[in-house]
């Protein structure tokens, strides 16, 4: 039982490069989320998808785009990476956009030089 799978696990980019972070869940969840984790700041919501075909901005969406490819997959794209986007990125999913717990992947550690 894989749960939420994120690829890649580590990545180093140069400023201005683009990259897509991949996320897939096998729990038949409707809602999916992208967070970034920075020291001392907890996790902050970047974008979320309440259901297939919908996406909405979270707390820190600037510099990112997302695609809900199908029910299983939710990708996060950095079009022109900046050093301020160096962070650990987590994907999560939940049964629906409600009060059910979210299930997290193991994260992608992204460094931008």
CB of 97 to another protein, least distance (A): 4
Among 1, 14, 42, 62, binds another protein (CB under 8 A): 42
Out of 58, 61, 75, 95, the only residue in the binding site for another protein (CB under 8 A) is 58
**Could you say which of 2, 14, 40, 62 contacts another protein (CB under 8 A)?**
40
Taking the complex as a whole, the smallest distance from the CB of residue 83 to another protein amounts, in Å, to 22
Q: Secondary structure of the chain: what % helix, strand, coil (to 5)?
A: 5, 50, 45
What is d(CA 55, CA 52) in angstroms, rounded to the nearest whole number?
Answer: 8
Answer whether 92's CB lies under 8 Å from 76's CB: no
Q: How far is the CB of 30 from another protein (least distance, A)?
A: 11
Binding to another protein by residue 53, rule CB under 8 A?
Answer: no
**By the 8 A CB rule, do 94 and 103 touch?**
yes
What is the pairing mode between strands 87-94 and 64-68? unpaired
Check residue 44 for interaction with another protein (CB under 8 A). Answer: yes
Q: 21, 5, 16, 3: which is closest to 87 by C-alpha?
A: 21
What residues make contact with another protein under the rule CB under 8 A? 4, 31, 33, 40-45, 48, 50, 58, 90, 92, 97-99, 101-107
């Amino acid at each position: 039982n894989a749960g939420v799978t994120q690829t890649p696990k580590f990545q180093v980019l140069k400023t201005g490069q683009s990259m897509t972070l991949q996320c897939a869940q096998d729990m038949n969840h409707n809602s999916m989320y992208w967070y970034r984790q920075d020291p001392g700041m907890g996790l902050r919501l970047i974008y979320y998808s309440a259901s297939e075909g919908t996406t909405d901005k979270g707390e820190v969406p600037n510099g990112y785009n997302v695609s809900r490819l199908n029910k299983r997959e939710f990708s996060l794209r950095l079009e022109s990476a900046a050093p301020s986007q160096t962070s650990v990125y987590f994907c999560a999913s939940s049964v629906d956009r409600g009060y059910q717990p979210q299930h997290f992947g193991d994260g992608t550690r992204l460094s931008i030089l």
